[in-house]
Amino acid sequence: IEDHHIKALTTQAASFWGALVVVYKTRDKRIWSKFATLESKRFSSLASYIAETPEFIAIMSTENYFENPRRTLLLYLGEELSLDVKEMGFFDKHGVTVLGLNFLEYVEYAPSRIGRWKLVNRIMESGYVLFPVLIGEKPHADGFRDYLRVLESAVHGRIMSIFESLQMEDFESPSWVERKAGQLRERYYQTIPQEVLSDLGTEYWPPCMKKIIGEIQAGLSLSHQARFAITTFLNKIGWDEDKMLELYRNFPDFDEEKARYQIRHILGKISGKIYEVPSCDTMNSYGLCVRHLDENKICGKVKHPMQYYRVALRRIKSKDD
């Protein structure tokens, strides 16, 4: 590798960690998630480019004597992410190279839970999900793409784990870090519709639901419980499937096939069971209760978000009268 290549790689590595610290200092998980998504997609794009570039493969073959440099690269990427990945061997007369990923890690990092990503729809052997990544020495379109997509998801998870584990409050940061973090926050907030910053939604929604829908519109990735709660609530107040789907496009990990399936399942279009809005006690157990944000002073009088909604509607009607 040429000296200028080493210098460029060193600069990129330093830039990544510098950017990560600045993003962390915004103290906004929406910005953390945006950064993780950007970097994970950059990773998969670069990995795909390298694996499909003949010049790179020629260099690896010549300078490192790798018999199959693409296979070596794909294994290396998985191992560097601390994934339990291994070569499962060659299959059929075309010489298909198959890599296996531990099924527990596959379940954790698969980008979806439906369609081709559903575990029962994957081929497994000895506890490993199989990916036919190469035919001969050339990338196998579907298996190669799916393998890199799972690695991309793992990169996203790794970056978010770094953010969650950092404990930098006790350390004094250079002034430029705090300044850049402030500028980044300001620029990000300017990209969000103004109504989102003022608790998007109707004035008379329960504060828990107002907060959840505001976070969705702001592009924050939410817990399964929060997604379930808001979907049941929107269904009860008359939102249809397409309107919900349009809202959920704001999720940084949006997958239309997955989102539509989940909405239809909760609405009873698949199982036949229509799920109810969680009670206040359940919302509290989920960590989603924010009654301290209740400006209408209704939370203390009700035990269910829909009860709150009905009380609020009565107040509206009495005001109109």
Domain regions of the chain by residue span? 3-165, 194-320
pTM of the model: 0.60
Task: Tokens for 89, please give them.
Answer: 């061997």
pLDDT value of position 102: 97
Q: Enumerate the β-bridge partners of residue 130.
A: 100
Alpha helices in the chain (DSSP H): 3-25, 29-51, 54-64, 69-80, 103-109, 141-165, 175-190, 194-197, 207-217, 224-236, 241-248, 256-266, 280-285, 305-320
Q: Enumerate the β-bridge partners of residue 125.
A: 128
Q: For residue 228, which of 199, 271, 267 has the smallest C-alpha distance?
A: 267
Are 68 and 76 in contact, with CB atoms under 8 Å apart? no
N- to C-terminal Cα distance for the chain? 79
For 165, 200, 315, the CA distances from 203, given in Å and listed in that order, are: 36, 9, 12
Query: In whole angstroms, what is the distance from residue 70 CA to residue 75 CA?
Result: 9
Query: In whole angstroms, what is the distance from residue 123 CA to residue 107 CA?
Result: 13
How distant is the alpha carbon of residue 296 from its chain centre? 34
Between CA 23 and CA 30, with CA 26 as vertex, the angle to 5 degrees is: 80
Task: Tokens for 279, please give them.
Answer: 């009670």
The answer for 275, left when phi > 0, alpha when psi is -120 to 50, beta otherwise, is beta
CB atoms within 10 A of CB 117: 18
Phi, psi of 260 (to 5 degrees): -65, -40
Query: In whole angstroms, what is the distance from residue 102 CA to residue 131 CA?
Result: 11
pLDDT value of position 23: 92
Are 66 and 72 in contact, with CB atoms under 8 Å apart? yes
The fold for domain 194-320 equals DNA Cyclobutane Dipyrimidine Photolyase, subunit A; domain 3 (1.10.579)
Q: For residue 233, which of 267, 269, 281 has the smallest C-alpha distance?
A: 267
Per-residue pLDDT of the chain (321 residues; tens, 9 = 90+): 556 656 766 777 778 888 999 999 888 877 888 899 899 999 999 899 888 887 777 776 665 556 778 888 899 999 999 999 999 876 655 668 899 999 999 999 988 776 788 899 999 999 999 999 887 667 777 889 999 999 999 999 999 899 888 876 656 778 888 899 999 988 877 765 443 333 334 677 999 999 999 889 888 888 899 999 999 999 888 888 888 998 898 888 888 888 999 999 998 888 778 889 999 999 999 899 999 989 888 999 999 999 998 888 777 666 655
